[in-house]
Amino acid sequence: MSAENAGPIGFKAHDHAACVSSSLDAAEAQCADKGLRLTPVRRKVLEFLLQEHRALGAYAILDLLKEAGFGSQPPVAYRALDFLVEHGFVHKIERLNAFVACAHPGKSHAPAFMICRLCDAVAETQSTLANGALDAAARAAGFQIERTVVEAEGICPKCKEKADA
Ligand SMILES: [Zn+2]
Ligand SMILES: [Zn+2]
Ligand SMILES: [Zn+2]
């Protein structure tokens, strides 16, 4: 993984149009690769989540789908989200009961999230579980970790700037 990809994209200024289109391209390529179907509704949900580096709840997504003419049945949104989460295109933020597009699609990784409690911006970074204290404790206890949820809550650079001004 390059240093560029390892950073918390959500909080930095970047070429966001390129960021959205390259993420969609990556998702298309991976689905083609793995024989998965990125149906129009799945693609649309991913697109909504890529629009802003912010977590969206299932109901917000459902509203957006409705506006986009995809019907208004909650299972449509839930099934699309399940697919996207299962295949790693989207992560669920437990703290917010909401979803964000993965910042490192296609790479196996242990995501860690920084969540702004003022604006709900979410930045994804890597958790350093492999060398961390939790990993050491788990090993000592003979416990095999399969999944961890790392969600840090705080104030993003933008909101901090506003608060300091
Ligand atoms: Zn972006
Ligand atoms: Zn990710
Ligand atoms: Zn913020």
Mapping DSSP onto H, E and C, the string for the chain reads: CCHHHHCCHHHCCCCHHHHHHHHHHHHHHHHHHHCCCCCHHHHHHHHHHHHCCECECHHHHHHHHHHCCCCCCHHHHHHHHHHHHHCCCEEEEHHHCEEEECCCCCCCCCEEEEEECCCCEEEEEECCHHHCHHHHHHHHCCCCCCCCCEEEEECCHHHHHHHHC
The model's pTM is 0.81
Q: What share of the chain in percent tops pLDDT 90?
A: 50
Q: Which residues pair with 152 in a beta bridge?
A: 114
| Closest ligand to residue 122's CA | 3
- What's the 32 CA to ligand 1 centre distance in angstroms? 23
* Residue 80 burial (CB count, 10 A): 26
Dihedrals phi, psi of 136, to nearest 5 degrees: -65, -45
Print burial letters for 39-62: b (CB count within 10 Å at least 16), e (below 16): eebbbbbbbbbbebbbbbebeebb
**Measured between alpha carbons, how far is 91 from 49 in angstroms, rounded to an integer?**
10
- What's the 164 CA to ligand 2 centre distance in angstroms? 31
- What is the per-residue pLDDT for 42? 95
- What's the 50 CA to ligand 2 centre distance in angstroms? 12
- What is the per-residue pLDDT for 114? 93
| Closest ligand to residue 101's CA | 2
pLDDT band at 9 (very low <50, low <70, confident <90, very high): low
Summary mean pLDDT of the chain: 86
| Closest ligand to residue 106's CA | 2
- What's the 154 CA to ligand 3 centre distance in angstroms? 8
Which amino acid, residue 98?
Answer: A
**Measured between alpha carbons, how far is 143 from 128 in angstroms, rounded to an integer?**
17
- What is the per-residue pLDDT for 128? 66
| Closest ligand to residue 121's CA | 3
- What's the 97 CA to ligand 1 centre distance in angstroms? 21
pLDDT in tens, 49-70: 998 788 899 999 999 999 999 8
- What is the per-residue pLDDT for 3? 34
- What's the 156 CA to ligand 3 centre distance in angstroms? 4
Nearest Cα to Cα of residue 1 among 76, 96, 81, 109: 109
